[in-house]
């Protein structure tokens, strides 16, 4: 009889131990899942594709140094009036999803409220990230479209169709825009176009750009696809200066 009780107690202890291990295992899995979900949310909401680490929005932690805007403005495409009192210099990547988010969600408000009203002009500069293989071809294709007066038309085509970006689609969009394809292709083979893009990257890196999109207003950097309110505050402050 004592043996039966002892065996029952032993089995009960084994069952309790097994349940304890299972509960610990479940807790560990739950923690791992929570960490994974948090990482995914951060990656979606971070607002910038970064190299090597994601930049933070302007105003976080230590203040970023003020950049000389006159030196930052190169002979790059300008959207808006040349006489606009406030300049935004954007560094962007044609394959960057956060850059696409900015173009689709925030840029329309900036354009309607500030660019179209003559208060702001936007200077677009290239910053193709190395892990986006189609970013540089997109930048070259757009620069060459600009040689035929269709820079921002190609810019908009690419960002409206980022998931379809390819060599074939670039040619299709060039044709749709009415470009002279022979001239456009010859331009794309011109090494000076790539050199100009590399200069954009060098200037951006020197100014503190670590990811895309990045913007400079009155010498201060705004990193990531920030909401319109962030740009509005910076623009209004610049207009008041």
HEC profile for 178-200?
A: CCCHHHHHHHHCCHHHHHHHHHH
| Closest listed residue to residue 93, CA positions, set 162, 42, 172 | 162
- Counting residues of the chain whose pLDDT is more than 70, the rounded percentage is 73
Q: How far apart are CA 53 and CA 73, in angstroms?
A: 25
Cα angle: 169, vertex 74, 99; to 5 degrees: 40
CB atoms within 10 A of CB 157: 23
* Domain ranges within the chain, ordered by starting residue: 1-45, 49-240
> How big is the chain by its Cα radius of gyration, in Å?
26
Helix (H, G, I), strand (E, B) or coil at 49: strand
pLDDT tens by residue, 100-158: 999 999 999 999 999 999 999 999 999 999 999 999 999 999 999 999 999 999 999 99
pTM: 0.76
- Hey, what are 105's tokens? 């969600």
Supply the mean pLDDT for the chain. Answer: 82
Q: What is the mean pLDDT of residues 200-213?
A: 95
Which range is least confidently modeled, 18-27, 129-138, 165-174, 217-226?
Answer: 18-27
Which fold does the domain 49-240 belong to in CATH? Glutaredoxin (3.40.30)
């Amino acid at each position: 009889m004592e043996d039966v009780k002892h065996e029952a107690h032993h089995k009960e202890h084994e069952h309790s131990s097994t349940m304890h291990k299972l509960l610990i295992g479940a807790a560990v899995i739950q923690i791992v899942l929570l960490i994974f979900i948090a990482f995914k949310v951060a990656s979606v909401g971070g607002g910038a594709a970064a190299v090597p680490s994601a930049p933070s929005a302007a105003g976080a932690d230590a203040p970023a140094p003020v950049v000389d805007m006159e030196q930052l403005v190169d002979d790059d495409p300008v959207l808006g009036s040349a006489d606009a009192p406030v300049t935004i210099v954007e560094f962007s990547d044609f394959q960057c999803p956060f850059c696409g988010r900015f173009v689709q969600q925030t840029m329309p408000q900036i354009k309607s409220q500030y660019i179209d009203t003559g208060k702001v002009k936007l200077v677009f500069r290239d910053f193709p990230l190395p892990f986006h293989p189609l970013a540089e071809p997109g930048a070259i294709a757009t620069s060459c479209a600009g040689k035929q007066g269709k820079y921002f038309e190609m810019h908009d085509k690419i960002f409206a169709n980022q998931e379809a970006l390819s060599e074939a689609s670039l040619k299709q969009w060039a044709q749709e825009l009415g470009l002279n394809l022979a001239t456009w292709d010859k331009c794309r083979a011109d090494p000076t176009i790539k050199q100009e893009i590399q200069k954009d990257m060098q200037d951006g890196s020197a100014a503190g750009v670590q990811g895309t999109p990045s913007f400079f207003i009155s010498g201060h950097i705004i990193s990531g696809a920030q909401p319109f309110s962030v740009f509005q505050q910076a623009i209004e402050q610049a207009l008041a200066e």
